[in-house]
């Protein structure tokens, strides 16, 4: 397999996997392109390489910057904006996990907390609702807490061991 074919295959596959970590295909493809790029790219570079519109590129770059995955880079003597992404795979996973927790898990924990603390009117239905949502709340909170502890570790022996176990 030649470079261009491998590059296209990687970007396409990463784009398809993007939905697994909560982003759309174009966002993931932009991040993939920046991830394997040897230098920061302009919006025009990204548009040309991925064959996507300016609006789509601009919107997705903004979202990737909101996630903390992509950053603007100043290039001396250039008027255009350049973009790059986190290159350290471990740090990238940490950023994504923290952002997914903030955007997805914490709101669910809040809803489960609200629902599980409703007034108990003594009926069997209410008791069951409280019991089950409290159990889900406790599980989600424990899982989120564990995940936060793991992602906040900076490659110490515990993190390496857990990551090996997950693999």
User: Can you give the pLDDT at residue 158?
Assistant: 55
Asked whether residue 101 falls in the same domain as residue 46, the answer is no
Handedness of CA 135, 141, 146, 147 (dihedral sign): positive
Q: 152 is in which domain, residue-wise?
A: 89-166
Residue range 46-56: average pLDDT?
Answer: 95
What mean pLDDT comes out for the span 40-65?
A: 95
Bridge partners (DSSP) listed for residue 70: 85
Co-location of 9 and 47 in the same domain: yes
**Based on the domain organization, do 57 and 99 belong to the same domain?**
no
Domain finish residue from 24, 53, 85:
85
Domain count, the chain: 2
Gyration radius (Cα) of the chain, Å: 21
Which of these three, 68, 85, 102, is where a domain ends?
85
Confidence of residue 84 (pLDDT cuts 50, 70, 90): very high
Which CATH number does the domain housing residue 24 bear?
A: 1.10.10.10
Lowest pLDDT segment from 49-53, 107-111, 150-154: 150-154
Write the pLDDT tens digit of every residue in 145-155.
Answer: 887 777 776 65
Q: DSSP secondary structure string, 68-132?
A: TSEEEE--TT--S-EEEE---HHHHHHHHHHHHIIIIIHHHHHHHHHHHTS---S-HHHHHHHHH
Collapsing DSSP to helix, strand or coil, 24 comes out as coil
Which of 55, 85, 115 represents a domain boundary (last residue)? 85
Helices and strands, number each (H, E), in the chain? 8, 3
pLDDT in tens, 16-30: 888 777 788 999 999
105, 78: one domain: no
Lowest mean pLDDT among 12-21, 71-80, 128-137: 12-21
């Amino acid at each position: 397999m030649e470079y261009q074919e491998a590059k296209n295959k990687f970007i396409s596959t990463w784009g398809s996997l993007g939905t697994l970590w909560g982003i759309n295909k174009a966002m993931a493809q932009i991040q993939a392109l920046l991830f394997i790029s040897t230098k920061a790219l302009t919006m025009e570079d990204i548009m040309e390489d991925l064959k996507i519109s300016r609006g789509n590129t601009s919107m997705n770059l903004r979202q990737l910057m909101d996630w903390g995955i992509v950053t603007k880079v100043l290039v001396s003597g250039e008027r255009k904006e350049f973009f790059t992404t986190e290159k350290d795979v471990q740090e990238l996973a940490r950023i994504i996990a923290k952002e997914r927790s903030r955007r997805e898990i914490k709101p669910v924990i809040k809803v489960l907390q609200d629902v599980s603390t409703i007034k108990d009117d003594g009926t069997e239905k209410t008791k069951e609702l409280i019991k089950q949502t409290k159990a889900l709340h406790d599980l989600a909170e424990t899982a989120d807490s564990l995940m936060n502890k793991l992602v906040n570790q900076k490659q110490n022996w515990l993190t390496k061991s857990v990551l090996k176990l997950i693999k």
